[in-house]
Chain A
Amino acid sequence: MRSEQVRFLGIIEQYQPALRRLVNSYEPDPGRREDLFQEIALGIWQALPHFRGESSERTWLYRIAHNIAISGLESRRRRDTRELPMPDSVERMGRWKDPDRALVLQEQRQAVLAAIQELAPVDKQLIVLHLEGLSYQEIEEVSGLSESAIASRLSRVRDRLTDLIRKKEMRNDTVR
């Protein structure tokens, strides 16, 4: 295997879960997520020879992934949005010891994901970077926005999402 291939596979292996979550936030239709993931992987593959380490690998990778995801936004928007996306597989819940807790978590995750999918693209980019654990400085490096703009936008989006989870929890408690 060529060194370029080894390097590419190493990056993908390390960041695959984060990239999958990023893809989920852009693509509501689970049937099309694989395609977007592969487009991003292709973008990384093509950009890899030009990567000189001027920024960290992580910020470089997020730039590519978000930029490729946003460039297909128009065509995704034009698609028939009346089609309801299929729910994610619940098989993964089998890993949990407490199925009730797993179900609640799954519902919360779905609610957060749905709320993130609804966000305006810039807010979506910022919150996904934040949730992936990037510092404000790293988010600035990826997004090109100032730290103050990032902070004010993130605060608004975070409040909205937290509120949503609380409501979801309250609704679940009422049902029980």
Chain B
Amino acid sequence: MTPSDELRALWQSDINEAMNQRDLLRDVERRVRNFDRADRRRNLVDIGAMLVVIVVYLWLAVGEKTTFERMADVCLAACAIWVIFYVRRYAKLSRKPEPEQTLDAYRRALVQRYDRQIRLWKSAKYWFILPMWLAVLLYDVAYRLSGGKNIKFAMVLILVTVGYAFAWWLYEGRGVRCLERKQRELATLIEVEGVAK
């Protein structure tokens, strides 16, 4: 017997207690149900958020004095819906890779998932910050054009601008750096080459 055969015999002599087949099937079906339920819940939350945004902004639009202000409300609602839609679409695209591929391809796919997330966060200024900020700006312009002079509105615009600038920094600065670090760690851990240090 070669050392390799001995090792194999030793390894295969470990016979673990087997789980009852029916219990296992029940557990797997329970997990499938939980997974489906979580998926449905997530869908409901997203759709609920969209509905709330539509109702709130339409309600605000009805109460506005000018058409321009109403348009600004509708723009804000459209931007918020766009953001939710974009994040949902992204979440669908960046699910875990299919486990049926080869181990080498799967390891690469695990590391590449971070690339998609990094791209999403780097482009946050286009799909999240800029549209929302422009919609708020449009709202402010509409308010001024309709004769509004309240200084509070200008303050709100400044605060919103600062808030969006902070969000921009969070996504593109801190967030992306953190994701890149995690990606490098994973790549080192599972021996995937080609990730920039």
> Does B associate with A?
yes
In the bound complex, residues from chain B placing their C-beta under 8 Å from that of A162 are 3-4, 6-7
Q: Contact: B99 with A64, CB < 8 Å?
A: yes
Of all A-B residue pairs in the complex, the 9 with the closest CB atoms, nearest first, are: A144-B102, A144-B104, A20-B16, A67-B99, A131-B11, A162-B3, A67-B106, A64-B99, A143-B103
- Does B8 have its Cβ within 8 Å of any Cβ on chain A? yes
Q: Which residues in window 51-77 of A have CB below 8 A to B?
A: 51, 60, 63-64, 66-68, 70-71, 73-74, 77
- Does A9 have its Cβ within 8 Å of any Cβ on chain B? yes
* B49 CB, nearest partner CB in chain A, Å: 28
* B174 CB, nearest partner CB in chain A, Å: 20
Q: Whole-angstrom distance between the alpha carbons of A51 and B13 in the complex?
A: 30
The SS class assigned to the A binding surface is: helix
Q: Whole-angstrom distance between the alpha carbons of A109 and B13 in the complex?
A: 8
- Does A36 have its Cβ within 8 Å of any Cβ on chain B? no
Number of A-B contacts (CB under 8 A): 135
Name the residue on B nearest A133 (C-beta): B8
Q: How many residues of A contact B (CB 8 A)?
A: 56
* B131 CB, nearest partner CB in chain A, Å: 33
Q: Which residues in window 16-42 of B have CB below 8 A to A?
A: 16-19, 21, 24-25, 27-28, 31-32
In the bound complex, residues from chain B placing their C-beta under 8 Å from that of A21 are 11-12, 14, 16
Q: How many residues of B contact A (CB 8 A)?
A: 40
Known: A43-B99, A70-B110, A112-B7. A16 touches B104 (CB 8 A): no
* B111 CB, nearest partner CB in chain A, Å: 11
Q: Contact: A60 with B110, CB < 8 Å?
A: no
In the bound complex, residues from chain A placing their C-beta under 8 Å from that of B31 are 38-39, 42
- Does B186 have its Cβ within 8 Å of any Cβ on chain A? yes
- Per-residue CB proximity of A1-20 to B under 8 Å, as 1/0? 00001001100110011001
- Does A114 have its Cβ within 8 Å of any Cβ on chain B? no
* A59 CB, nearest partner CB in chain B, Å: 9
